């Protein structure tokens, strides 16, 4: 009957199906070091896909030459050639082969799930030497406690080996779900993210990573705290970036920068007196990228958010309105201490590299492969 919701088509697709013949994987029947990554449909602005493609390109140069990207359903591409062209245009031609649909997976030494929607397919595919799970956040927390929360959480019980974005996730998967997991830390592109000269300005600027469409980024709590800051420090203005917030009532001096080109971010970060970054789940890449531009940071305290940088490098606040507001004002008033922390954070950003993190993962892959 038309108009009815088809639960079966959607969720049974997510649950995957048995594939493969159970062949013994060796260098005689699959290329050594071959890797296949099953991903949800991609876009150029997706931070998760940027990370995946980054590691695919780096691992390709570290002894894992055959890198394949399989785009799971649902996707918007009419052909694999169209998806390949879009991938190359968005991320550069890294020699990564694209195919469409989870049923197009071919035998390989390593098969990697990415978003939770791909994990069931990977767990049920029999012609892979190692089945891995590239976990960038605790995805059950993206949902209310219902079907999708449970389906996402259950992917950590499928016996896949985790490669996680940061130590918090690795510890959580080991302790709560008994997964084997290795973590990589974050880095940033230092050719892009670097300090620009500060322009003279009588107004102090707070950068806020504002993502009202992403609940885990705690937009509303940040907005409440920022109003208190601006009420008490009227020479302060807030720059909102990450999403268009023009539909919100914002009763203080601010700029709605919306979604910006990546190339424009370093100079913007460099002009700010403090950056506020909130997250109720795993950190984004933003703290290290902003630190590389010399911007002092305020981040919420907690094992999910404080694993990357120390108390000497950034200001930590509790995830509550009063604490956020008070910590921002402390950072703005104590310029000497704030400059000291920003300098230490900048030094950290300059010491880390994506290549070093990929080398760590490549060593692990050889150990288990």
pLDDT digits (tens, 9 = 90+) for 197-245: 888 888 999 999 999 999 999 999 999 999 999 999 999 999 999 999 9
Collapsing DSSP states into helix, strand and coil, what is residue 177?
helix
Claim to verify: residue 166 and residue 90 sit in the same structural domain: yes
pLDDT digits (tens, 9 = 90+) for 45-70: 677 889 999 999 999 999 999 999 99
Q: What tokens does 29 get?
A: 């029947």
Claim to verify: residue 333 and residue 279 sit in the same structural domain: yes
Phi-psi group of 52: left, alpha or beta (phi > 0 → left; psi -120 to 50 → alpha; rest → beta): alpha
pLDDT of residue 45: 65
- Number of domains, the chain: 2
Claim to verify: residue 259 and residue 128 sit in the same structural domain: no
Full domain range(s) for residue 361: 12-186+354-368
Claim to verify: residue 225 and residue 329 sit in the same structural domain: yes
pLDDT of residue 26: 85
Claim to verify: residue 178 and residue 223 sit in the same structural domain: no
Claim to verify: residue 358 and residue 346 sit in the same structural domain: no
């Amino acid at each position: 009957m038309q108009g009815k919701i088809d639960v079966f088509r959607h969720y049974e697709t997510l649950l995957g199906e048995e594939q493969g013949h159970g062949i013994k994987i060796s260098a005689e029947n699959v290329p050594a070091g071959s890797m296949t990554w099953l991903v949800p449909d991609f876009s150029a602005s997706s931070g998760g896909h940027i990370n995946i493609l980054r590691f695919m390109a780096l691992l390709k140069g570290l002894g894992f030459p055959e890198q394949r990207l399989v785009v799971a359903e649902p996707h918007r591409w009419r052909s694999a050639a169209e998806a390949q062209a879009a991938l190359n245009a968005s991320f550069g031609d890294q020699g990564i082969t694209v195919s469409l649909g989870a049923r197009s997976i071919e035998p390989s030494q390593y098969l990697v799930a990415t978003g939770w929607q791909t994990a069931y397919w990977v767990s049920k595919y029999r012609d892979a030497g190692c089945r891995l799970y590239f976990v960038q956040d605790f995805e059950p927390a993206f949902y209310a406690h219902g079907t999708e929360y449970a389906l996402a959480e259950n992917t950590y019980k499928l016996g896949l080996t985790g490669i996680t974005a940061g130590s918090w996730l690795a510890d959580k998967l080991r302790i709560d779900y008994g997964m084997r997991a290795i973590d990589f830390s974050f880095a940033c592109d230092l050719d892009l993210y670097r300090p620009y000269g500060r322009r003279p300005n009588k107004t102090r600027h707070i950068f806020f990573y504002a993502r009202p469409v992403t609940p885990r980024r705690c937009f509303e709590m940040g907005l409440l705290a920022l109003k208190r800051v601006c009420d008490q420090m009227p020479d302060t203005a807030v720059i909102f970036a990450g999403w268009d917030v023009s539909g919100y009532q914002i009763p203080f001096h601010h700029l709605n920068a919306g979604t910006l080109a990546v190339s424009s971010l370093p100079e913007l970060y460099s002009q700010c007196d403090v950056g506020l970054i909130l997250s109720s789940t795993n950190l984004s890449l933003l703290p290290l990228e902003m630190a590389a531009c010399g911007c002092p940071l305020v981040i919420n305290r907690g094992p999910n958010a404080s694993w990357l940088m120390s108390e000497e490098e950034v200001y930590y606040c509790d995830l509550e309105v009063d604490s956020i507001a008070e910590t921002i004002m402390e950072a703005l008033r104590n310029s000497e201490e704030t400059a000291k922390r920003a300098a230490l954070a900048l030094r950290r950003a300059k010491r880390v590299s994506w290549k070093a993190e990929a080398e760590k993962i490549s060593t692990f892959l050889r150990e288990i492969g």
